[in-house]
Chain A
Amino acid sequence: QMTQSPSSLSASVGDRVTITCQANRDMRTYLNWYQQTPGQAPKLLIYAASNLEAGVPSRFSGSGSGTDFTLTISSLQPEDFATYYCQQYDIVPVTFGQGTRLEIK
Chain B
Amino acid sequence: QVQLQESGPRLVRPSGPLSLTCAVSGVSISSPNWWTWVRQSPEMGLEWIGEMHHNGNRNSNPSFDGRLTISLDKSKNVFSLKLTSVTAADTALYYCVSRRIDDVNPEAYFFDNWGPGTLVTVSS
Establish whether residues A47 and B45, one from each chain, have CB atoms under 8 Å apart when the complex forms.
no
Which A residues lie within 8 Å of B110 (CB)?
32, 44, 47-48, 53, 89
Establish whether residues B45 and A30, one from each chain, have CB atoms under 8 Å apart when the complex forms.
no
Per-residue CB contact flags for chain A residues 64-105 toward chain B (1 = under 8 Å, else 0) read: 000000000000000000000101010011111111000000
A42 within 8 A of B: yes
Task: Taking A34-B111, A44-B112, A85-B45 as given, write out 16 further A-B residue pairs in contact, using a Cβ cutoff of 8 Å, ordered by the A residue number.
Answer: A32-B110, A42-B46, A44-B110, A47-B102, A47-B110, A48-B105, A48-B110, A51-B108, A87-B46, A92-B61, A93-B62, A94-B61, A95-B48, A96-B45, A97-B45, A99-B45
Establish whether residues A48 and B48, one from each chain, have CB atoms under 8 Å apart when the complex forms.
no
Considering only residues 38-53 of chain A, those with a C-beta below 8 Å from chain B are 40-44, 47-48, 51, 53
Residues of B near any A CB (own CB < 8 A): 45-48, 59-63, 95, 102, 105, 107-112, 114-117
Which A residues lie within 8 Å of B47 (CB)?
96
A-B contact count (CB 8 A): 55
Q: How far is the CB of B41 from chain A (nearest CB, A)?
A: 12
Please list 26 pairs of residues, one from A and one from B, whose beta carbons are closer than 8 Å in the complex, sorted by A's number.
A30-B108, A32-B110, A41-B115, A41-B116, A41-B117, A43-B114, A47-B109, A48-B102, A48-B110, A51-B102, A51-B108, A53-B110, A53-B112, A85-B45, A85-B46, A89-B109, A89-B110, A92-B59, A93-B60, A93-B61, A94-B61, A96-B46, A96-B48, A97-B45, A99-B45, A99-B46
- Which of B60, B109, B111 contacts A42 (CB under 8 A)? B111
Establish whether residues A32 and B111, one from each chain, have CB atoms under 8 Å apart when the complex forms.
yes
